[in-house]
Structure 1
Amino acid sequence: MRAITTYFVFSAALLLAAFPFAAQSQEVPDNLKGSGEVVFGSIGGTLEAAEKKAFFDPFTRDTGIKVVLVAEDSAKLLASVKLGQPAYDIADIAGGQLATWVSKDAVEKIDYSYFAKETLAGIPEPLRNEFGIGNYTYSSVVAYNTNKFPEDGKHPKNWIDFYDTKEFPGKRGLSKCEKMVEGGLLEGALLGDGVLPEKLYPLDMDRAFAKIKELMPHVGRWMVAGGDGPQALMDGEVDMASSFNGRIAAAKKEGAPLAMSWDQSLLEYGYWVIPKNSPNKENATKLLAYISRPEPQAAFAEAISYGPVNKDAFRFLPKKFAGNLPGAPDLVQKQVFQNYEWWSTRGPDGRTNYDVALERCTDLLSQ
C-alpha cells in the first residue's frame, strides 16, 4: 500500500505542475559559491550536452567552481569507493538502484541545508531521498524508424505491438541487463504480454523472462548506452527499439527518420548521488543545490525534452513545449509509473529484486 501511495503522490505533484503560480526568481546565494572543482560522472551524448548547457557552465559562471567531466562507469566507481578513493564526486544512477548503493554504504547523505527552502518545496517528496536527489524525469518509449513504419501508416504504438513480430516484422533493440531498470526491460515484456498497467507490480519475473526469451531471435542489438537506441535505428541495425524519449526527440529534431509513441511509456526518474568519501563533497552538494532550482531545470528540459523534477520549472517553459515532456498532464494518463520500491524490496536471502533480476537476465543472455 505504501508503494501505491507514493506513486499517487508523485503523480499528483506532476499533474499540479502545469498550473502557473507566482514565484520569485532566485539569485545564487553566497553559500553556493566557492572555488576548486567537482568531478561529475557523465553518461555522454545529448544528455551531457544538455547538462553542460543548462547546469555545468552556468554553475561555474555563477559560483566559481569548475565542473570536470569524466566517463560514467558504475562498476569502476563502486570499486573505487570500496578502496576509499571514489573516481568521481557525483554519479547519475537509476531510481531502482539507489537502495543497492545505500546497502553497499557507497553514498553520502545529502546535506539539504545547502538547498533553498523554495527549491525543496518544488520537488516532490519521493525525489528528495536521504541519499539522493532526483535529477530529471524521462521515459522509456517504443521508438521506430519511419522509413520502415511511416508515422501516417501502420506503426508500433505500444509494447504489445513491439512484441508482435508477425504484425510488425523487423529487428528489435532492447536494453541489456545492467540497464534493464532504466530501459524498462521487464516492464515492457510484461506489458507486451498483455499485463494491464495497474496489475504490473509486483513484476512476474518468470513471465517477463519467458517473453524476452521468445523475442530474443528478433533482437538486433542489446543496448548499454543511452545513445544506442537512436543510433541503431538510424543505422538500420534495428527497426524499432526501447529508447529514451529525449534521445529520440533530439535525433528527430536533427532530421533523423525516427518517431516514438507515449502509449504505455514508462515514467522514470533517477538520482544524483555523492559517492562515499567524495574528496569534493561540499562542492558536489553545492552543484546539486544549484541545478535543482527551477530555472536550471527548465533550461535542461528545453535542451533535451526530459521532464524537470522541480515542478516550479514549468513556469519558465512554453505551454506547448511543456505538454510534450514526460509527466505532463496530457501525457501522464498514458504512462506507467515505474515502481522503484518494488525493485528495492529485499527477499529472505537479503537480495533485492533488482539483484535477483540482474542475475537471471545475465544467465538468459549468456545462453
Structure 2
Amino acid sequence: MNIKAISFSVFAAALMLAPLAAHAEDIPENLKGSGEVVITSGGGTWEEAQKKAFFEPFTRDTGIKVVLVPEDHAKLLASVRLGQPEADITSVPGGALAGFVNKQAVEEMDYGFFAPDTLANMPEAMKNKNGVGALLYSIAVAFNTTKFPNGGKQPSNWVDFYNVKDFPGPRSLPKCEKLVDGGLLEGALMGDGVPADQVYPIDMDRAFAKVAELKPNVGRWWVAGADAPQSLIDGEVDLAAAYNGRIFGARQQGAPLSLSWDQSLLQYDYWVIMKGSPNKDNAAKFLAYISRAQPQATFAEAISYGPVNNEAFNLVPKELLDVLPGAPELAKKQIFQNYEWWNATGPDGRTNWDVALERCVALLSQ
C-alpha cells in the first residue's frame, strides 16, 4: 500500500483540533520510563499526524524519547538479520505481516502493558499475536460525478461496478501485484452476487471468471494508489476501485469524485516490534499508549484513517463519522479483509496470495 503520503482529509483542514491527549498524571505508571524507542516513519502529512497524536504526547507523558528513522523495510529486515535492528517498531500492511513472521523478523506482542479497557475496545483483528492494529483504511467503489452526477443514478457497490449495461464506461482495477491491497477478488465475488459475509474462503475460479468478464471494460490497471483517482480525474475511466483517502484528498482539491462505502473492504496495517529490539519494553509501552482512545481520536482527526480503538469514534467530531473507515454506521456496510486466508498455505507450500498472483498474471497477459 502506498497511501501514507495522502493529504489531510476533506474535513481535517476545516476543523479546530482540540487537544485530546491525556495529561501525564492520567498515564498508568507501567507506561512511564526512560531511554528511547526508535520508530520508522513515512514522512509528510503522515508523520506530522503521528507526531501530533502519538510521538510528542508519548514522550511528554512517559519520559521516553521517540527517535524517528525513514521507513525502508528492506533495509530494516537486513538489519534484523544481522542482529542489529535499526528500529524497534515499524508498521506493515496486514497482508504483509505473515511474511515478516515467516522471516522471524518480529517479536510476539506483549499485551501486558495494555489497559483492559483499551483491549476491550479494539476489534479482534487488531490484536494479533505478532502485531497490533495501526489504522484502518478502505478500498471502495469510486466514480466521477461528472459522468454520474449527484441526484442521478450512481454506482453504489461492486454489483454496480461490474454492471456495464446500467453503468457504462471504462473501469480501473488493481494490477496483479496489488490484487490483495486493491481487493480485486473480493470485489469480483461481490460483483457476482456473493454476499459480503460469504466472500471467504474466496472461490478463485468464480472470482477470476468475473474479472475476465469485465476485462474488456478496464481502461487502467493501477499499481500506485494515486493512479485510480487520477484516471478518474483525467476521464480515462469513469469508475475505479480506489482507496478512500485518495478520493477524499482529490475531492479536497476540487476533483469531481465520490465513493460508496457499501461493500467496501476494511483494511488495516499492523505495528510490529522488530526481533532483537534493544528497547522492547519501551516499544510495548509506546504501542499500549497510542492504542488508547484519545491518541487514536487525535490521529483520526488529523488524517483520514480510521482508529483501531472503537471508543475513539465517540471522541471525534460527528462530521468525521461519515468519512472514517470503521465508523459504527459505515462498518455495517463494510467487510474486514481476511489476511489469514490470504496468507494460508496449501499442500504445495504456496500461499493463496501466491496462487492468485500466478493466475492473475496469466489472465492479464492473455
Band of TM-score, shorter chain: 0.7 to 0.9
Residue 40 of structure 1 corresponds to 40
Residue 276 of structure 1 corresponds to 275
Q: Distance in 2 between matches of 1:226 and 1:88?
A: 26
Q: Distance in 2 between matches of 1:301 and 1:79?
A: 32
In 2, are the aligned partners of 1:323 and 1:329 still within 8 Å (CA)? no
CA deviation vs aligned residue, 1:214-247 (integer Å, no higher than 9, x gap): 4344434433344443344334443322122233
Residue 208 of structure 1 corresponds to 207
Question: What letter is aligned with 1:251?
Answer: A
Q: Distance in 2 between matches of 1:360 and 1:79?
A: 31
Aligned residues: 342
Question: What letter is aligned with 1:34?
Answer: S
Residue 68 of structure 2 corresponds to 68
Residues 33 and 363 of structure 1, relative CA distance in 2, 3 Å threshold: farther
Q: Distance in 1 between matches of 2:361 and 2:82?
A: 26
In 2, are the aligned partners of 1:184 and 1:266 still within 8 Å (CA)? yes
Find out whether 1:133 has 2:129 as its counterpart. Answer: no
**TM-aligned CA deviation for residue 297 of structure 1:** 0.5
Residue 168 of structure 1 corresponds to 167
Find out whether 1:304 has 2:315 as its counterpart. Answer: no
Q: Distance in 1 between matches of 2:302 and 2:309?
A: 16
Question: What letter is aligned with 1:176?
Answer: K
Residue 93 of structure 2 corresponds to 94
Residue 288 of structure 1 corresponds to 287
CA deviation vs aligned residue, 1:276-321 (integer Å, no higher than 9, x gap): 2345544433432222111110112222333211122123123343
**TM-aligned CA deviation for residue 174 of structure 1:** 2.2
Q: Distance in 2 between matches of 1:338 and 1:285?
A: 26
Question: What letter is aligned with 1:127?
Answer: M
Residues 293 and 231 of structure 1, relative CA distance in 2, 3 Å threshold: farther
Residue 16 of structure 2 corresponds to none
**TM-aligned CA deviation for residue 203 of structure 1:** 0.5
Question: What letter is aligned with 2:275?
Answer: K
Question: What letter is aligned with 1:157?
Answer: S
**TM-aligned CA deviation for residue 72 of structure 1:** 4.9
Q: Distance in 2 between matches of 1:239 and 1:160?
A: 15
Residue 333 of structure 1 corresponds to 332
Specify the SS of the correspondent of 2:26.
coil
In 1, are the aligned partners of 2:92 and 2:270 still within 8 Å (CA)? yes
In 1, are the aligned partners of 2:225 and 2:246 still within 8 Å (CA)? yes
Residues 317 and 80 of structure 1, relative CA distance in 2, 3 Å threshold: same
Percentage of pairs with the same residue: 61
Q: Distance in 2 between matches of 1:46 and 1:205?
A: 38
In 1, are the aligned partners of 2:64 and 2:282 still within 8 Å (CA)? no
- In the superposition, the TM-score normalised over structure 1's length comes to 0.80
Q: Distance in 1 between matches of 2:171 and 2:80?
A: 36
Question: What letter is aligned with 2:271?
Answer: W
Find out whether 1:358 has 2:363 as its counterpart. Answer: no
Specify the SS of the correspondent of 1:165.
coil
**TM-aligned CA deviation for residue 205 of structure 1:** 1.0
Residue 348 of structure 2 corresponds to 349
In 1, are the aligned partners of 2:36 and 2:65 still within 8 Å (CA)? yes
In 1, are the aligned partners of 2:297 and 2:316 still within 8 Å (CA)? yes
**TM-aligned CA deviation for residue 57 of structure 1:** 4.1
Residue 256 of structure 1 corresponds to 255
Name structure 2 gaps, 5 residues minimum: 1-21
CA deviation vs aligned residue, 1:119-178 (integer Å, no higher than 9, x gap): 223223332112000112222111112223223223221112222334333333323333
Residue 12 of structure 2 corresponds to none
Q: Distance in 2 between matches of 1:291 and 1:334?
A: 27
In 1, are the aligned partners of 2:229 and 2:250 still within 8 Å (CA)? yes
Residue 145 of structure 1 corresponds to 144
Q: Distance in 1 between matches of 2:323 and 2:292?
A: 21
Q: What RMSD over aligned residues (CA atoms) do the two structures have, in Å? A: 3.0
- In the superposition, the TM-score normalised over structure 2's length comes to 0.80
Which deviates more from structure 2 when the two are superposed, residues 342-351 or residues 357-366?
357-366
**TM-aligned CA deviation for residue 53 of structure 1:** 3.5
